[in-house]
Amino acid sequence: MMSERGYHHGDLRNALLVATTELVREHGARGFSVSEAARRVGVSSSAPYRHFPDRDAMLAAAALTGFRELEERFASLPALKAFTDTAAQIATEYLRFAREDPARFEVMFAHGIDKTKHQDLLRQTFRVQERFEATLSRCLRSAETTPRAAELWSLAHGVAALATGGNVQHILPEARISALADSTARAWARGVQ
Amino acid sequence: MMSERGYHHGDLRNALLVATTELVREHGARGFSVSEAARRVGVSSSAPYRHFPDRDAMLAAAALTGFRELEERFASLPALKAFTDTAAQIATEYLRFAREDPARFEVMFAHGIDKTKHQDLLRQTFRVQERFEATLSRCLRSAETTPRAAELWSLAHGVAALATGGNVQHILPEARISALADSTARAWARGVQ
DNA sequence: TCTCAATGTGAGAGGTTCACACATTAGAGT
DNA sequence: ACTCTAATGTGTGAACCTCTCACATTGAGA
């Protein structure tokens, strides 16, 4: 053991973070274990506790990178003129994000991790909401962008949560699910204006 | 031990179900354990396995009663004439339900339990969707009630999931959160018609 | 060069899920 | 009334898990 590496890993925290997101993707949040992550990067099972206080902190860290990635993706979305198109674009992108890694998406919003205990997570969710607001404010004729952004977020989140949870697959055909985000967002946007 | 009870419990499956929902409410899905449920009803830690194949099955059973309760609540909602009012009513009731027992609500939609493995759960979610459809069809001028019901469900679910997950509490004041379901549903309903 | 704070290890306490052999008993058939 | 069998509960134990603590190692600064 410890060949190729020496006693100290050098970048253990980061390696564990990668292993955590991989494991979550492969076996779900419940399938993830600190031991397994440690095994995967080749350290003892107690080494991770030098970098994370407990198991939940590792999941929270994985969730945090998820929120950062989500923010980036919205930031790099092309600007559209029409309000309805923008709403549909956001909801669709949100759904796409969730479906690419459903397990991590669930971890990001899991009730299990106490968001008041992980302030960085809370701040990052706030930044995502801000991004929604900024995007909407470019084409929304209303002073109340904050609650409107929350509405759109809720709507997009609902579609994504139900779709990744396998709750609509038996109600709508696969082709319709991708369209669900679009049509829900458009109806909402029409009603807002 | 086993005083007041005799060797056989008599109604163990049901007692375990009650204990499960209580534990989930108190300590969350992750806090629940088969051992603890067994301890609470006063049987050995392997007794539950006579009634449920594994831990997940106990959670699935708790989720099932949740879905049944949800269906009942929608069934006993007073009928309204206006479409927008009906949509708002459904979304608001959905949010109320979620907030009464957030942990069980999360279990009902947890990715962890494989819905294809628990067919009864799947059937019951389908019945909830049917209930949505039936209610909507009474006041919706459209042939496409199935996708519309799915849209409303998504929307309501999103509000409930974000609210119970503590994601909007730091964006909107508590008073506004109760109104979030209402306003989102109304905007959507206006856009649909 | 020396030292010490940060980082990794090994052992272990206490918890968990679940399988398996065994004990008990309700109730169906006679 | 009497058996016997299937259903239900028990106890033990293997294989995991989280997290703690004393100890080993080493990179980087004084």
Are the C-beta atoms of residues B110 and B164 closer than 8 Å to each other?
no
Q: For residue A6, what pLDDT is reported?
A: 82
Query: How many domains in chain B?
Result: 2
Residues 19-38 of B with CB under 8 A from A: 28-30
d(CA B55, CA B20): 10
> CA-to-C1' distance for A23 and D2, Å?
60
Q: Is the CB of B7 under 7 A from strand D?
A: yes
Report the protein residue whose CA lies nearest the C1' of nucleotide C24: B7
Q: For residue B2, what pLDDT is reported?
A: 38
CA separation, residue A161 to residues A35, B5, B61, B109 (Å): 29, 44, 21, 8
Question: Does B70 fall in a domain?
Answer: yes
The answer, yes or no, to whether residue A56 has pLDDT greater than 60, is yes
Q: For residue A4, what pLDDT is reported?
A: 65
CA A154 to chain B, closest CA, distance in angstroms equals 4
Cβ partners under 8 Å of residue A1, min gap 6? A42
d(CA B100, CA B96): 6
β strands within chain A, DSSP E? none
A28 and A85, same structural domain?
no
Best mutation target among A106, A117, A167 (most B Cβ atoms within 10 Å) is A167
A177 and A94, same structural domain?
yes
Amino acid making up residue A180: L
Q: What is the DSSP letter of B78?
A: P
CA neighbours closer than 13 Å in the CB half-sphere of residue B81: 0
Lowest mean pLDDT among A100-104, A182-186, B165-169, B181-185: B165-169
A98 and A126, same structural domain?
yes
B46 and B6, same structural domain?
yes
Question: Does A112 fall in a domain?
Answer: yes
Question: Does B6 fall in a domain?
Answer: yes
Question: Does B59 fall in a domain?
Answer: no
Question: Does A176 fall in a domain?
Answer: yes
Question: Does B8 fall in a domain?
Answer: yes
B102 and B187, same structural domain?
yes
A98 and A186, same structural domain?
yes
B99 and B48, same structural domain?
no
The more confidently predicted of residues A3 and B125 is B125
B91 and B121, same structural domain?
yes
A140 and A79, same structural domain?
yes
Nearest Cα residue to B113 out of B53, B44, B46: B53
Residue spans of chain B under pLDDT 50: 1-3
**pLDDT tens for each residue of A121-173:** 999 999 999 999 999 999 988 788 999 999 999 999 999 999 999 999 889 99
Q: For residue A141, what pLDDT is reported?
A: 83
d(CA A46, CA A37): 11
Question: Does A147 fall in a domain?
Answer: yes
A98 and A47, same structural domain?
no
Nearest Cα residue to B70 out of A62, A102, A167: A167
Quote the percentage of chain A above a pLDDT of 90.
84
Note down the domain range covering B44.
Answer: 1-52
> CA-to-C1' distance for B159 and C12, Å?
46
Question: Does A37 fall in a domain?
Answer: yes
